[in-house]
Structure 1
Amino acid sequence: MLYKLTFLWCMLLSIFGTSQVRNPDGVDFLEFMTSDFKYEVMLITDKISTNKTSEATIRIRYDDRIVEFYSIAEFELIDDSIFINVIPKDQEVKVIKGTSTYNPDTFLLILNEEGNFLKGEATDKNSTTGNKLKFTTANTFTDQLRLLKRFYESDDPLYPKIVKLLKDEFILE
């Protein structure tokens, strides 16, 4: 009986303990440079809750490696600008491709009221200065899909949900 309860508890933690986005509501592609690497970033967020936060899944691609970590995105409107502070939930990083140790980054994005990227920066716990973020422009669904495939395989559980979201964004425009 104790074994069954322990097994059930572990299963619940594995299902609900992680904070991966389950129903993507926003996808952004960004990049930043350090002296060592160019880092490509895919930021996926759930719907914004009433307390102006959202679960976020971050995938970082660099030097033929991909890592993933979970964050909380906090949204705030200040003087006609939307500030999005994306803070790692913990120091746990999942290596998706390659071998790596990686410190989760914190991101600050500033958008105008229409949601257009103005500026941003990425920092990790070991740096005292931020790295300037650049928004990756993808003007077509095909461009967005090409970027998505740099981070996700088609058999990943989130992949079809992200594809649907990207399709819906281009149909609505």
Structure 2
Amino acid sequence: MPSRRYGSSRWTIGGASQTILAVGITLCALPIAVFAPIGGTLAQRYGARRWAIGGVGAITLVVTFYGIVPGVAWLVALTMATSVLEGFTFPSAPMLVAAAVTQDRQASAQGLMIAVEVATAAVAAVALAAVYDAYGDLMAWTVTAVTMAILLLIGAILTRPDDLQPVRPGVPDDPIRRPFQ
């Protein structure tokens, strides 16, 4: 939680200055852009569903440690690791949407996916702020990781194709390949 040092014009979080935090956030965003093209290629090769489940599962494990690590340097390092995993994983979600709907519904399906992501983040931010305020960062990040794991399990069950083959884009007109029927 931000705290203001007496007599200072700089805001700090965990003892880090605003400049350090800005540089850390910028550094943590770069791997997403760098690794997304590679992640898209790998998701195409191994199947978007499989790639998404593995990537989000790995991110869930890393998020578990957010409330445990001491100091800003470790938190930035964990965030960098998460960012690399996100870069590899992010392309798989639009690929799953592309495989789930017919060609004439692609734009609306992609828009709906993004709207649901933003709405989920907004609800999670409000809920986790209350958890953080009442119980601290360890409990907030534990709740986050457990919620991620539960939602990942539900998503894995709901998107499991009947033929158990990897879900790849380019086959949305074949109803057996759609994750939702």
Q: TM-score, normalised by structure 1?
A: 0.27
Greater relative CO (CA pairs within 8 A, separation 6+): 2
- Superposition TM-score, scaled by structure 2 size: 0.26
- Rg: which structure is higher? 2
Structure richer in strand, relative to its length:
1
